[in-house]
Each structure stands twice: as structure tokens, then as C-alpha cells.
């Protein structure tokens, strides 16, 4: 009986963790958008990832670790992909597009994660899975183009959308490479290390390129929340969800971050949520449901 009660409590914690992770990650584009008016994307990237690393340090310090040269190379590659290239592209893209569109497009990370898993881990999709991927890509296309395909409609917004999509691809690569080293390290330690390495590399680029580190006092709360909650705590809660309710349920709940992202952008940035955005979110969530419900063999 005690075991059943404990199991039920663990499941509830898993659902709550996954939902809170979605809420916090959904806030990222809304928190970051105003700061990019004065803070360079590279500067924001290095600050955010160093804060994320510090946030996860107390959790990561609970476990000791030792890595061989091969796994250190993997960690550095993960850092370059997920904590240097991805956030840089993401923040440069966010400068050009709305926070709500950005929140929707980040669901592309799930699709890219699956596609990379097919390459790295020889996982297979069935017909439903491939159909689901096409549906999600259709949703991404709707957000990116608003179904306008004339050459005159291609502007900075499209470039920004493309940068965000490519960023989700690098984050997906990060996810899959992290899986290779996860048998040697706790995920919290992996995230801590990659965030610290990525933050230091980005700081080096900022110094080398002589980019001014100009953080206005009014933006400090946003930046701290962005690093600690939007990236650090949300990743930790996502991990807790994975442990307690499994990958499929966690990812399905986490994909609602796009909805929270639209809500936050509307409430705090006064962005207008258009019909194309609502349609795209519905299509993408439907595709993600199909993908994780019956798309994997």
C-alpha cells in the first residue's frame, strides 16, 4: 500500500514538474525580447548560460564524476552545439521576429531530436511517425510564411524565423549527443558543464569582438530570470519529469510551452496572436501527439 501511495506521489510530481518546465521555458522568448533592444545577442547568450550553470551547480555537486578524453570531447561538442551556436542563432533570430512566433517555432527541437535519433541511435519511425513529422513541419511553415510565398514577402522576419529553426536543430543535436555521454554523467552535471563551457566560450567571443557588455539596470531581473528559471530550472524540472513519468508524457506536456509562450507574449509584450499562429500551434501539437503516441516503432 505504501508503495502504491509513493508511486502515485512520484507520478504527480512528474506531471507537475513537466508542466512547470513548460511554463518556464515558454517564458524565455518573452523575457529575452525586451532585453535584446540594448543587449547584444552574444552578450545575452553568455550571461544566460553562465547563470544557468550556477543555478544547476548545487544539484550537480551532489555527484562526483570522472571523464576520459572521448567523453570530454563529446561534452565540448555538446557545449558548442547547444550552449554556443544554438543560443546565438536563437537570440539573433528573436531580434527579428515576435516572441510568440519564436515560442511556437521552438517545438521544432522535438522533431529534429527525433530525426537525429534516427541517424545516431538507429531508431525507426513507422508511417504514422513520418506523417506526424510532416504535420509538425507544416505548422513550422505556416508560422514562418503565413502562407505567403511571393519573393517580396521574404524579409528579415523570414530570416529571423530561419535562424530560430536552425537553432532548434543545434539544440536537438545537443540532446542526442548528451544521450551518448549520459551513461557516464548525471544529466544535471552534463547541463552544468555544457552551460559553463558554452558561457565561457561566448564570453571569449564577446571580448575578442570587443562587443560592449551593456546591461541596463531595468533588464537585470529579466536576464537573471532568463538564465536561472527559463533555462536552468526548466531543464532541471524537465529532467524530473523524464525520471517520473517517462519521455513520451514529459515531451507531450513540455510541448505546451508554445501555448504559454503565446500567452506571455500577449500579456506582457502586447503582441497580437493571429489566426495563423493558433492554427500552427494546433497542427504542431497534433503532430507531436501522433509522433509520440504511435509514430515510433
Residues 65-71: contacts with CB within 8 Å, 24+ apart?
65/184, 65/185, 65/186, 65/189, 67/181, 67/184, 67/185, 71/181, 71/184, 71/185
Domain limits at 181?
2-294
Distance CA 261, CA 254 (A): 12
Q: Is the pLDDT of residue 121 over 80?
A: no
**Phi, psi dihedrals of residue 182, rounded to the nearest 5°:** -65, -20
Q: Are 21 and 238 in contact (CB under 8 A)?
A: yes
Strand partners, 296: 125
Residues 6 or more apart whose CB falls under 8 angstroms from that of 293 comprise: 248
Choose among 85, 90, 78, 88: nearest CA to 120: 78
pLDDT tens sequence across 241-279: 877 876 667 777 888 888 899 999 999 999 988 888 888
pLDDT at 1 over 50: no
A 10 A CB-CB count for 69 gives 7
Minimal CA–CA distance to 110: which of 288, 294, 297, 289?
A: 288
The lowest-confidence range among 96-100, 121-125, 229-233, 271-275 is 121-125
Structurally, how many domains does the chain consist of? 1
Give the span between the Cα atoms of 51 and 48, in whole angstroms.
5
Which residues are CB-neighbours of 219 under 8 A, at least 6 positions away? Answer: 34, 35, 38, 39
4/157: higher pLDDT: 157
User: pLDDT per residue over 127-164, tens digit each?
Assistant: 777 787 788 778 877 876 666 544 544 455 678 989 99
Strand, coil or helix: 115? helix
DSSP per position, 247-258: HHHHHHHHTTHH
Amino acid at each position: 500500500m505504501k508503495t502504491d501511495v509513493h508511486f502515485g506521489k512520484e507520478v504527480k510530481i512528474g506531471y507537475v514538474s513537466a508542466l512547470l518546465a513548460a511554463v518556464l521555458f515558454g517564458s524565455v522568448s518573452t523575457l529575452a525580447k525586451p532585453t535584446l533592444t540594448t543587449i547584444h545577442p552574444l552578450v545575452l547568450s553568455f550571461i544566460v548560460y553562465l547563470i544557468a550553470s550556477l543555478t544547476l551547480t548545487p544539484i550537480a555537486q551532489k555527484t562526483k564524476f570522472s571523464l576520459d578524453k572521448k567523453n570530454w570531447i563529446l561534452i565540448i561538442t555538446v557545449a558548442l552545439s547547444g550552449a554556443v551556436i544554438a543560443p546565438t542563432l536563437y537570440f539573433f533570430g528573436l531580434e527579428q521576429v515576435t516572441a510568440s512566433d519564436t515560442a511556437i517555432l521552438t517545438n521544432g527541437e522535438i522533431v529534429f531530436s527525433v530525426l537525429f535519433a534516427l541517424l545516431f541511435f538507429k531508431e525507426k519511425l513507422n508511417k504514422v511517425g513520418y506523417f506526424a513529422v510532416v504535420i509538425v513541419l507544416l505548422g513550422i511553415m505556416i508560422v514562418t510564411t503565413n502562407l505567403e510565398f511571393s519573393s517580396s514577402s521574404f524579409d528579415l522576419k523570414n530570416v529571423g524565423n530561419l535562424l530560430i529553426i536552425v537553432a532548434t536543430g543545434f539544440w536537438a543535436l545537443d540532446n542526442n549527443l548528451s544521450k551518448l555521454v549520459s551513461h557516464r554523467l548525471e544529466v544535471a552535471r552534463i547541463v552544468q558543464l555544457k552551460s559553463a563551457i558554452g558561457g565561457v566560450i561566448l564570453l571569449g567571443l564577446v571580448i575578442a569582438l570587443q562587443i560592449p557588455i551593456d546591461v541596463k539596470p531595468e533588464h537585470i531581473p529579466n536576464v537573471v530570470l532568463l538564465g536561472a528559471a527559463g533555462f536552468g530550472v526548466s531543464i532541471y524540472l524537465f529532467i524530473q519529469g523524464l525520471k517520473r513519468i517517462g519521455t513520451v508524457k514529459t515531451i507531450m506536456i513540455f510541448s505546451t510551452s508554445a501555448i504559454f509562450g503565446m500567452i506571455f507574449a500577449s500579456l506582457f509584450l502586447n503582441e497580437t496572436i493571429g489566426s495563423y499562429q493558433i492554427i500552427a500551434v494546433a497542427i504542431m501539437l497534433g503532430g507531436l501527439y501522433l509522433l509520440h503516441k504511435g509514430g515510433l516503432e
